[in-house]
Amino acid sequence: MIPWLDDSKRFPPVELALREPNGLLCAGGDLSSLQLLQAYRQGIFPWYSAGEPILWWSPNPRMVLVPGEFRISRSLRQTLRRGNYEIRLDSQFPTVIRACAEIPRKAQQGTWITREMQLAYIRLHRFGYAHSVETWIDGQLMGGLYGMAIGRMFYGESMFSLTSGASKIALAHLTRYLDQQGFLLIDCQMNTPHLASLGAHEIPRSEFIKRLQVLCTENDQPGRWPSDGASQGWH
């Protein structure tokens, strides 16, 4: 059994999260901006399907990526150098999160990005916490990703591609932008072979919590990112 959040909506200690399924901490609460920001600052995130109560997670270990350690494959580097695309930040956030929810992925049925979830992150985008990185080709949005920025922490949420490699292009530009802006860690949540191939690695949850407690308070200045902030070419 997991606890339900009471009227105070305070999360239980993450050490009480289940081992199986890994990281399930509690249920209930809401997706208000205050609740979500409180969650992220404590290393907790929502993940549930339509028709389920809101479920909150804090897995152990935690998958993270240091922005400067992103691995660029030879083929991706060639694509970046050709530069037959445009990178924009925060220009079409609602479109990006909707695409992440609606575009099918291999070996995945349905989506966890419910309509309620989309509206919650669109509110956070308006408050300057949620951001999108977008790959445009010939004037069309062809891929991208979104996530949360608090202080010097970035929390990756989801990505999509309408053409091969478009989301990886966005991720490459994001990691370089974050590195330039002084961000020190990207939360990738759960381990996957794909994330590991890009340079992400696992750390104990205790270490993750200790680091974010510092990083979330450093230079915490929410605001919209400049549209051309990550458009620098690749050489």
Lowest mean pLDDT among 7-11, 99-103, 108-112, 134-138: 108-112
The structure tokens 């999160």 sit at: 97
Output the pLDDT for position 3: 94
What percentage of the chain has pLDDT greater than the value 70? 97
Average pLDDT over residues 27-53: 95
Q: Is residue 88 helix, strand or coil?
A: strand
Which sign, positive or negative, has the C-alpha torsion 148, 149, 151, 152?
Answer: positive
Output the pLDDT for position 109: 45
State pLDDT tens for residues 206-226.
999 999 999 999 988 899 999
Lowest mean pLDDT among 34-48, 62-76, 97-111, 159-173: 97-111
Output the pLDDT for position 183: 97
CATH architecture of 14-59: 2-Layer Sandwich (3.30)
Q: What CA–CA distance (Å, rounded) separates 139 from 77?
A: 22
> Where do runs of H (alpha helix) occur along the chain?
33-41, 74-82, 93-102, 115-126, 166-180, 193-197, 205-215
Output the pLDDT for position 8: 81
Spell out the domain ranges in the chain: 14-59, 63-215
The structure tokens 């458009």 sit at: 231
State pLDDT tens for residues 111-122.
679 999 999 999
CATH class of 63-215: alpha beta
Mean confidence (pLDDT) of the chain: 94
State pLDDT tens for residues 132-190.
999 999 999 999 999 999 999 999 999 999 999 999 999 999 999 999 999 999 999 99
Output the pLDDT for position 107: 46
Q: Is 21 left (phi over 0), alpha (psi -120 to 50) or beta?
A: beta
Output the pLDDT for position 1: 81
